[in-house]
Amino acid sequence: MQYTTDVRIIRLMCTGRVDPTMVAEAFMEGADGIMVVGCHFGDCHYISGNYQAKVKIGLASKALGYVGLNTGRVVFNQCSSAEGDRFVSQVTAFHDSICAIGPLGSAENLSLPALKDRVDTARTALASEKLRWVVGKFTEFEKSGNKYGEKFTAHEMWRTLDTIVIDEIATHGILKEMGKGAASVVELARRLEIAPPEALKYVLALQRRGLVGLAGVDGSTPSYKIVERPARAA
Amino acid sequence: MAEEIRIGVFVCNCGSNIAGYLDVKSLAEYAKSLPNVVLVKENLYTCSENGINEIKAAIKEQGLNRVVVASCTPRTHEPLFRGTCAEGGLNPYLFEMVNIRDQCSWVHMQEKEKGTGKARDLIRMGVAKAALLEPQEPIESEMDPRALVIGGGIAGMTAALALGNRGYEVTLIEKADQLGGLLLKLDKLAPSGADGCETVRKQADLVSRHPNIHLMTSTHLDEVNGYIGHFQVSATTNGAKTQFGIGVIVVATGANVFRPAGLYGYDGSKVITQLELEEVFKSGPFAAKNVVMIQCVGARNDERKYCSRICCMVAIKNAIEIKEKSPETGVRVLYRDIQAYGTENEALFQHARELGVIFIKYDPARPPKVEEGKVVVHHELLGREIDLDQDLVVLSTPLVAGDDNEAISKLLRVSLDANKFFLEGHVKLKPLDFATDGIYLCGNAHYPASVREAVSQALGAAARASIPLSKGVMSVEPIVSTLVDEDACRGCGLCVALCPYGALEIVRGEKGRKVKVIPVACKGCGVCAATCYHHALSVNSYSDAQIGEQIRAYLEESA
Ligand SMILES: Cc1cc2nc3c(=O)[nH]c(=O)nc-3n(C[C@H](O)[C@H](O)[C@H](O)COP(=O)(O)OP(=O)(O)OC[C@H]3O[C@@H](n4cnc5c(N)ncnc54)[C@H](O)[C@@H]3O)c2cc1C
Ligand code: SF4
Ligand code: SF4
């Protein structure tokens, strides 16, 4: 049983421990690919950690995909401790696919600093309260329904998740850009590569939440900035 | 805080297991260059007495406050090295293990240079993590000194008696309406010739009269929650629900006999299984004139790759029985290989041949054909097909995993193997334990076994189970979740809802609603820490910072 020397294993108690932000951080450190390997469903040594992991990794992959990372760089696999052969074939297949995708940045057509900056936006979104709640509730909703007893299929849930991920990434992208200084909607839209009306929608939503305010008006173009808020009281 | 970090790294050769495939000298040399490392030693076997003593001495003499061993797998050796640190006066959780055997030398045997490079990275990652480790104290909790045995066959009864005789209270749950299991259906038992029914009746009698054994027949196990020392069980007997607490569990649920529907014209009367043959023996005189037995029916094939171990012995036993009951009856056994292991089985095999039982080898590519009044088989030595007269065909079918195995494996959170038999914690080192603490296994539930083997396993499992029972207080690994930032916690309860073990609760205190960890219930999976958006929770020895540092240490160098 032999496999590539290109992998390093990080031991965790359970794949449920994998915080989606860890995945983003590893790419910011320069990893070319990340494979999360957990138990088979129904056979999790920690009961249900692997269901959580599947959603968390799926979400990380979506968020990273939206900011331009090749999603083939993140996989979630399942393998029991008695299945050495299976592990080897999973590692080998993943290694082959990463070799085909190429080193970080190449398939993305982005310089490393540019890619890392984008991954950082995904990381902030993955750390956000909203995405955490959705992920947390994902498995529960799928199994037992929401509080009105409505059940959702995984497909429906992922579709909902999709829009939330897009919203969160745009929102955090805007906050990040504004962190560099006041900016107009058109400018923000250009930097984030989204349509100006979309950018306006997010800016207005942020303004309603009191996170963003008017910085000034340049001719007829308003520019916006982040509203400084007192640090959280201890 | 600012205590100087002094890391000692011990690089093991594992004889030639590691040193044969990696350049261990250069690894040791490399480790010296890593931050905070003050001492590096190379050992032939770090786990030998010499190696252990070296670690202990180095902790004292060199003032080490972190120990890293680069060797084999933590699955088998982490407890040993943690213990060594403790004996040397170092908190055992200031220890980190780097697996350069299973992850390097064994899987990169032909790539010494690259494998060594990878081992260098792994050591660097381990050292980086070690620097951030923090001391932990074991978590102690009271042990419920009662046991549960599931399954009342010979194995389960034996385990229950052994535990009961040691003075522990035992609850024995049997789903059937009587004790005994498979043996109730058997005639004489090989190799002793004892009667199957009588053997189990004697045990059943002891069980039902035992003051420490609480017997529950016709009972269905509904739910098991908790962990070693604190399991809560719910069961239903004839519609009535009961709930009780126990500290350990022995699984002895046996196996089923494979029913060869559609194979060799199986009909249950003229073509029967060995189990049905035993019933024929029990029901009266034996009338058949020519018996053909076929071995490995439904076993050692693509669907069931394994050998059921007992069927050769059973066929030999029953062939002798036929000859003894009716000497003029012809008995032919068609086999692929005869597994008559051990002195007694071999003696039975020879005895059967002396009595005139004929053994004929068949090729699985050319299986025998059962036809009206005869069996046609390709005789390997004669090189042609021969006809064997028959008025009874007996099929030796394997034992297959019990119907309830999947359900029980979910209830108890223990694993099954590829054939759905229960899987032990470690083939060599923990053959009677599950990977989950406080749960043990014996008998056919694990793998087809003879009565003697099932009984030995049951005695062993009972002995294993009585180790925690005898302790009264149990200490749990402190690798659990901890509220590291109480201020950050908003008491939202998301983590509470997701914890698979019910180990979290929200309590209202001075600072408002905050989460509280119940450490004895926590298994350290980390779901909560990976969920909290305020990073209020962390898992000891697997904190965000420690994992992050490991990742950084890998990528900084290779970048
Ligand atoms: C045809 C045949 C002939 C054999 N001849 C011999 C022989 O000559 N000599 C010999 O040494 N061995 C012989 N054996 C093997 C012998 O039967 C086994 O070694 C023995 O039965 C193993 O005992 P056990 O307790 O592990 O399992 P079992 O006897 O299968 O007992 C398991 C018990 O668990 C109960 N159970 C299952 N699931 C649950 C649940 N969910 N909850 C509660 N209870 C449950 C079952 O009802 C059963 O009572 C023979 C086997 C066969 C099939
Ligand atoms: S620890 Fe985090 S997830 Fe849990 S209750 Fe507190 S804020 Fe919520
Ligand atoms: S680490 Fe796992 S078991 Fe422990 S409290 Fe967190 S979620 Fe529960």
Cα separation of B98 and B14, whole Å? 13
The CATH number assigned to the domain with range B259-397 reads 3.50.50.60
CA of B22 to nearest chain A CA: how many angstroms apart? 12
Predicted confidence at residue A230, as pLDDT, reads 59
pLDDT of residue A234: 36
CA distances from B556 to A8, B124, B222, B553 (A): 13, 10, 52, 6
**Quick check: B182 pLDDT over 80?**
yes
Q: Is the pLDDT of residue B4 over 90?
A: yes
Q: Where in chain B is the domain with CATH 3.50.50.60?
A: 146-256+400-473, 259-397
- pTM for this predicted structure: 0.67
pLDDT digits (tens, 9 = 90+) for B305-321: 999 999 999 999 999 99
State yes or no: cis peptide before B191, omega within 30 of 0: yes
Residues 49-68 of A with CB under 8 A from B: 49, 52, 56
- What residue's CA is closest to ligand 3, atom 6? B528
pLDDT at B449 > cutoff 80? yes
Neighbour tally for B239: CB within 10 Å: 7
CATH number corresponding to B477-540: 3.30.70.20
Q: Are B546 and B532 in contact (CB under 8 A)?
A: no
Residue ranges in chain A whose pLDDT is less than 70: 140-151, 230-234
Contacts with A20 from chain B: Cβ below 8 Å: 530
Q: How far apart are CA B548 and CA B16, in angstroms?
A: 33
Domain A181-234, CATH class in plain words: mainly alpha
Distance from the alpha carbon of residue B542 to the mean position of ligand 2, in angstroms: 18
CATH class given for the domain over B146-256+400-473: alpha beta
Q: pLDDT-derived band of residue B503, with 50, 70 and 90 as boundaries?
A: confident
CA distance B459 to B208: 18
**Pick from B412, B444, B394: nearest CA to B256:** B444
Q: What tokens appear for B115 in the block?
A: 């494998």
Q: Which of B365, B370, B335 is nearest to B264 (CA)?
A: B370
B531: nearest CB among A13, A22, A136: A136
Checking if the pLDDT of B502 tops 90, the result is: no
Structural tokens at position B440: 């043990």
Q: Do A135 and B531 touch (CB under 8 A)?
A: yes
Question: Residue B14: what residue type?
Answer: C
- pLDDT bucket at B435, cuts 50 / 70 / 90: confident
Rounded CA separation B327/B336 (Å):
25
From chain B, the residues in CB contact with A129 under 8 A are 533
Q: Which atom of ligand 1 is nearest to the CA of B173?
A: 43
| Cross-chain residue pair B436–A19, CB shorter than 8 Å | no
Q: How many CA atoms lie within 13 A of A52 on its CB side?
A: 30
Residue appearing with tokens 């009595």 = B355
State how far the alpha carbon of B524 is from the alpha carbons of A14, A41, B494, B502, in Å.
Answer: 8, 19, 17, 12
In this structure, which residue's CA is closest to atom 6 in ligand 1? B189
Cα(B501) to centroid of ligand 3, in Å? Answer: 7
**Confidence band for B413, pLDDT divided at 50, 70 and 90:** confident
CB < 8 Å to B548, chain A? 22, 25
What pLDDT, on a 0 to 100 scale, did the predictor assign at position A146? 59
Using DSSP's 3-state secondary structure scheme, residue A168 falls into: helix
More confident call, B520 vs B388: B388
Minimal-distance CA residue to ligand 2 atom 7: B489
Q: Whose CA is nearest to atom 7 of ligand 3?
A: B499
Give, rounded to a whole angstrom, the gap between the first and last alpha carbons of chain B.
32
- 3 state SS of B260: coil
| Interval B106-116 mean pLDDT | 95
Q: A44 is written with which tokens?
A: 């999790």
Judged by average pLDDT, the poorest of B160-174, B223-237, B386-400 is: B223-237
Ligand nearest to the CA of A52: 3
pLDDT at A145: 55
CA nearest neighbour of A173 among A156, A190, A197: A190
Work out the pLDDT band at B559, boundaries 50, 70, 90.
Answer: very low
The answer to whether the CB atoms of A18 and B556 lie below 8 A apart is no
Structure token digits, residue B158: 């034996």
Enter the tokens of residue B530. 């990976």
Phi-psi map region of B443: left, alpha, beta (phi>0 left; psi -120 to 50 alpha)? left
B367 close to ligand 2 (CB < 6 Angstrom) = no
Task: Tell whether A100 lies on the interface with B, counting CB pairs under 8 A.
Answer: no
Query: What is the B183 CA–ligand 1 centroid distance (Å)?
Result: 6
Among the residues of B372-521, which ranges form H helices? 405-412, 451-471, 494-498
Provide the pLDDT for residue A228: 79
A112 touches B at CB < 8 Å: no
- Is A10 in Cβ contact with B530 (below 8 Å)? no
Every domain of chain A and the residues it spans:
1-178, 181-234
Q: What residues does CATH 3.40.50 cover in chain B?
A: 7-136
**Full DSSP string of A34-83:** EEEEEPPTT-BTTBTHHHHHHHHHHHHHHHHHHTT--GGGEEEEE--TT-
- The pLDDT value recorded for residue A134 is 83
Provide the angle, in degrees to the nearest 10, between the axes of the packed helices B74-87 and B49-61.
50
CATH architecture of the domain covering B7-136: 3-Layer(aba) Sandwich (3.40)
Number of other residues whose CB lies within 10 A of the CB of residue B110:
8
The whole-angstrom separation of Cα B520 and Cα B381 is 66
Taking the Cβ of residue A86 and every Cβ of chain B, the question of whether any pair is shorter than 8 Å is answered with no
d(C-alpha B201, C-alpha B183), whole Å: 10
